[in-house]
Amino acid sequence: MTSSEQNFEEFTEQCLEYFMPLQDEFIKLYDINSYENWFYDHGIGAFHFKSDNGRNLYFKYVDVGSFSTKTDTWKWSWDNKTTPKHVCRGLEKVKAFGQTNDFEELTKGLLDGDEYTGWALTAVSAKLLNAIGAYRIPQDHLFIYFIFTNELTQEEYDALKDKYISCDSHVSGRIAFICQHLNKDTHAGFHEAFDPDTITDDDDGYEAWCDECEKVRLKEDGWNDVAVAFANIRLVCDQCYFEIKERNQKDN
């Protein structure tokens, strides 16, 4: 066993020691086991517990990954092409931590393991992302692991639905705004309204436009009627937004 493997085992044990009482308190505080039904919505990144007597409980979540009982493997959600980026984006911090500390288990998408692996990596993610609790659900031969970042009120849950859009290319995604000249086949430059890493659920969404729109915006001294008409902003999902961004950034 190498020193890095030993260090990762020690780190995992520390995370489990942190996570287990946290999880016990989470289950007790929210009376999780009293809810007969659960639902998760990748479209808005919200988990819904519902009781038969009409009680509802909502959380924002990060999809951590899944363990397959058929292949005895763990797969990080960021390595799963069917998982929307906005429900696993928080794991970038976990992956970066793995790269810094040479922990292959946090940087390799598919790992051999067992059900213990699922809870161990969920505990690591919970500690690094300051989660308030976690949940595991069965799905065919898989166990899927979630960590919860914060509770949502009914009003906050309903408001989230207005910030996401159905997409023909992806499951769904957060609403994003781009000018009419940008698409996945162009190379037209890419200007953003603000840093995408700072976007929160309270913000309206991602916004971007091309080089030609930027020229018109500067000429008009801002987004006046002329600049807005030239841009002819349209809606896309955030996954399409980042694919378009990758294609159109001139420094790529």
Question: Domains of the chain: which residue ranges?
Answer: 3-157, 163-248
Helices H, strands E: what count in the chain?
7, 12
Q: What does the DSSP assignment read for 20-44? A: HHHHHHHHHHHTGGG--EEEEETTT
Q: pLDDT (tens digit, 9 = 90+) per residue, 222-231?
A: 999 999 999 9
Radius of gyration over every alpha carbon of the chain, rounded to an integer in angstroms: 21
- Those residues with Cβ within 8 angstroms of residue 242's Cβ, 6 or more apart along the chain or in another chain: 85, 196
Q: pLDDT (tens digit, 9 = 90+) per residue, 111-131?
A: 999 879 999 999 999 999 999
Q: Using the predicted structure, report yes or no on whether residue 24 has a pLDDT greater than 70.
A: yes
Cβ–Cβ under 8 Å, residues 170 and 239: yes
- Of the listed ranges 35-39, 226-230, 239-243, the least confidently predicted one is 239-243
* Residues 148, 141: Cα–Cα separation, whole Å: 23
